[in-house]
């Protein structure tokens, strides 16, 4: 905790991340739960998740150019304020609905909710890209693993450990309540980011956007390990998003959980994220990046197998814990690796291209989940259809593990 005690700007960034991720954690449960109140159609529910993740595919690359061109602190503040306004739009949508659960007009409300999710996701792309490029400017390179571990840990604590259970309690009390808290969190996060002191950056020469994008792409092609990590992350995220999209229905229809109970279930993943974020830097220091990246990939397979084969919420909780340990170990290694390697004047653009590959596949996974369940449910039944994405996840992560052993060299 010495870094938090001695580095004022890092302390503000850490606090802003904590509060903003509390809001994200509340939304992570409140948005899909609201969708299930509107409709039970798995495709329409997946459509909301698809809309929220689509901006990572559409806007990641332009966001990188913007991040390198403009003041990164200002971009983060404006993105959080825009998210505050949009969250009040969700509250307005709920208040003008005749009743929840809806008996009719589901498509109208799902499309409106999806539109807001799309705009929220767009702001998130810009905000998160700017935030990841800011960190190397306020901590030394030798502290990057520690800082990333702490940042990922607090994001998990607030976003998955505190946020979802709180959302479950709030949504059980009043459906608009979690979105009110979410809006307040964005306002507080914007204020904290505004208090960060960043070193002066020389204003870059502005050229055509494609010229700047090509510079980032040329750097990535010259560093094939980074490109390989980006593509692998995209496939991993597609598989995880596919299963996360159906988890809300899996929890309701197979595990029989309420909103509060589902929120508590998600805290198991948060505990894994905290554990991975705290011990990850130490494990990497002891075993090295190369060995740890393979360990992380091996651990990713087990959660899919466990959930595919069980109807026990405690087994699902253990799987979510392990899932986040593996994901956090991967993040601590790969994010620090990139931040140390990429030049500052290219950091925004290369990060955005990396996220285009790594996060741009998430909407594909979300939409695929809804299509798979809706397509197979009439033939195999709802329970088997809800388990299918986890079976696909098992096969996919196993293939990626074998590929990583053969091709991934840090």
What's 41-85 look like in SS3? CHHHHHHHHHHHHHHHHHCHHHHHHHHHHCCHHHHHHHHHHHHHH
> Above 60 in pLDDT, residue 101?
no
Is-contact 398 63, C-beta < 8 A?
Answer: no
User: pLDDT tens digits for 28-45?
Assistant: 788 888 888 887 788 888
pLDDT surpasses 70 at 100: no
User: How far does Cα 66 stand from its chain's mean position?
Assistant: 21
Alpha helices in 288-407 (DSSP H): 289-308, 313-341, 344-360, 362-380, 382-407
Q: 49 in a domain, yes or no?
A: yes
201 is a domain residue: no
Q: What is the count of structural domains for the chain?
A: 1
**From residue 291, how far is each of 211, 228, 332, 337 by CA, in Å?**
37, 17, 13, 14
- Tell me, yes or no, whether 202 lies in a domain: no
Instruction: Give the lowest-confidence range in 77-81, 122-126, 301-305, 351-355.
Output: 351-355
- For position 376, what pLDDT does the model report? 92
Residue 283 domain-assigned (yes or no): yes
pLDDT at position 396, please?
A: 95
- Reference 351, options 361, 342, 360; nearest CA is 342
Query: How does residue 73 score in pLDDT terms, banded at 50, 70 and 90?
Result: confident
CATH code, 315:
1.20.1250.20
Q: Which domain holds residue 39?
A: 2-196+209-407
- Between the alpha carbon of residue 2 and those of residues 11, 68, 143, 340, 388, the distances in Å are 11, 30, 11, 21, 46
DSSP characters over 149-210: HHHHHHHHIIIIIIHHHHHHHHHHH-TTHHHHHHHHHHHHHHHHHHT------PPPPP--HH
203 in a structural domain: no
């Amino acid at each position: 905790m010495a870094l938090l005690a001695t580095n004022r700007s890092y302390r503000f960034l850490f606090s802003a991340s904590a509060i903003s991720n509390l809001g994200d954690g509340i939304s992570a449960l409140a948005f899909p739960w609201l969708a299930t109140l509107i409709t039970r159609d798995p495709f329409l529910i997946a459509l909301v998740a698809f809309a929220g993740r689509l901006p990572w595919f559409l806007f990641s690359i332009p966001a990188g150019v913007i991040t390198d061109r403009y003041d990164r602190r200002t971009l983060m503040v404006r993105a959080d304020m825009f998210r505050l306004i949009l969250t009040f739009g969700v509250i307005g949508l709920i208040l003008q609905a005749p009743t929840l659960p809806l008996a009719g007009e589901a498509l109208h409300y799902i499309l409106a909710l999806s539109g807001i999710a799309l705009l929220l996701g767009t702001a998130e792309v810009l905000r998160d890209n700017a935030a990841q490029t800011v960190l190397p400017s306020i901590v030394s390179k030798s502290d990057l693993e520690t800082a990333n571990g702490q940042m990922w840990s607090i994001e998990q604590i607030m976003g998955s450990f505190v946020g979802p259970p709180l959302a479950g309690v709030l949504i059980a009390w009043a459906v608009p309540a979690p979105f009110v808290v979410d809006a307040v969190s964005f306002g507080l996060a914007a204020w904290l980011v505004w208090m960060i002191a960043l070193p002066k950056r020389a204003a870059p020469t502005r050229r055509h956007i494609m010229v700047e994008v090509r510079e980032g792409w040329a750097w990535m092609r010259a560093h094939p390990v980074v490109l390989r990590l980006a593509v692998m992350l995209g496939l991993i995220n597609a598989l995880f998003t596919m299963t996360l999209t159906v988890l809300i229905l899996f929890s309701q229809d197979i595990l029989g959980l309420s909103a509060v109970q589902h929120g508590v279930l998600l805290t198991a993943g948060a505990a894994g994220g905290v554990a991975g974020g705290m011990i990850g830097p130490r494990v990497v220091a002891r075993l090295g990046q190369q060995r740890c990246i393979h360990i992380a990939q091996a651990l990713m397979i087990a959660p899919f197998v466990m959930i595919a084969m069980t109807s026990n919420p405690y087994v699902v909780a253990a799987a979510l814990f392990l899932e986040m340990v593996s994901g956090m170990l991967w993040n601590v290694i790969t994010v620090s690796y990139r931040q140390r390697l990429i030049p500052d004047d290219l950091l925004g653009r290369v990060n955005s291209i990396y996220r285009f590959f790594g996060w741009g596949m998430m909407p594909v996974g979300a939409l695929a989940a809804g299509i798979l369940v809706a397509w197979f449910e009439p033939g195999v039944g709802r329970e088997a259809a809800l388990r299918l994405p986890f079976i696909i996840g098992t096969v996919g992560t196993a293939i990626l593990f074998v590929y990583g052993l053969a091709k991934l060299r840090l």
